[in-house]
């Protein structure tokens, strides 16, 4: 598998991957999320390819204080092969290069598989509560 920056021609395949991995929600338009990312550090939207097929992705963010991970996905048939670990190593290195001191990420309640994955990589629960407020409706 090779990692590379997202290309606009990847859009439909990437959204399909996110859907099959259960990452999309009715209130978040994945197409708009891609456009938003392309407006800010587009090189930090990364896809994993096998042949001509997109089998993985990660959206990396950094605002000068904390790094963020969104849309980490690995196609179901490619899971448990080290791809997620490789994506996270890529993200950590990209963030280190930018001077990022810490990475945060959010996991939806009940997603025990993701929680176990991140714990194996050394991530721990922070003593914090995530709050959110929509500023723009996607739906």
What's the pLDDT score for residue 83? 97
What's the pLDDT score for residue 137? 86
Distance separating alpha carbons of residues 64 and 75, to the nearest angstrom: 31
The alpha helices in 5-123, defined as continuous H runs, are 11-20, 30-39, 83-97, 112-120
pLDDT 10s per residue in the chain (139 long)?
999 999 999 999 999 999 999 999 988 999 999 999 999 999 999 999 999 999 999 999 999 999 999 999 999 999 999 999 999 999 999 999 999 999 999 999 999 999 999 999 999 999 888 899 989 888 7
Distance separating alpha carbons of residues 93 and 46, to the nearest angstrom: 13
The fold for domain 2-120 equals Aminopeptidase (3.40.630)
Give domain limits for the chain: 2-120
What's the pLDDT score for residue 138? 86
Helix (H, G, I), strand (E, B) or coil at 105: strand
Query: What separation, in Å, do the N-terminal and C-terminal C-alpha atoms of the chain show?
Result: 34
Contact, 31 vs 18, CB < 8 A?
A: no
What's the pLDDT score for residue 2? 96
Question: Phi and psi of 108, rounded to 5°?
Answer: -65, 145
């Amino acid at each position: 598998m090779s990692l590379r920056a997202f290309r606009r021609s990847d859009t439909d395949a990437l959204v399909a991957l996110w859907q099959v991995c259960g990452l999309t929600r009715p209130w978040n338009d994945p197409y708009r999320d891609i456009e938003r990312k392309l407006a800010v550090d587009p090189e930090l939207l990364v896809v994993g390819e096998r042949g001509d097929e997109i089998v993985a992705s990660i959206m990396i963010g950094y605002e000068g204080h904390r790094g963020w991970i969104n849309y980490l996905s690995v196609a179901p048939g490619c899971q448990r092969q080290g791809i997620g670990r490789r994506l996270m190593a890529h993200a950590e290195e990209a963030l280190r290069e930018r001077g990022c001191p810490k990475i945060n990420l959010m996991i939806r309640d009940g997603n025990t598989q993701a929680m176990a994955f991140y714990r194996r990589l050394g991530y721990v629960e922070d003593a914090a509560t995530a709050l959110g407020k929509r500023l723009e409706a996607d739906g």
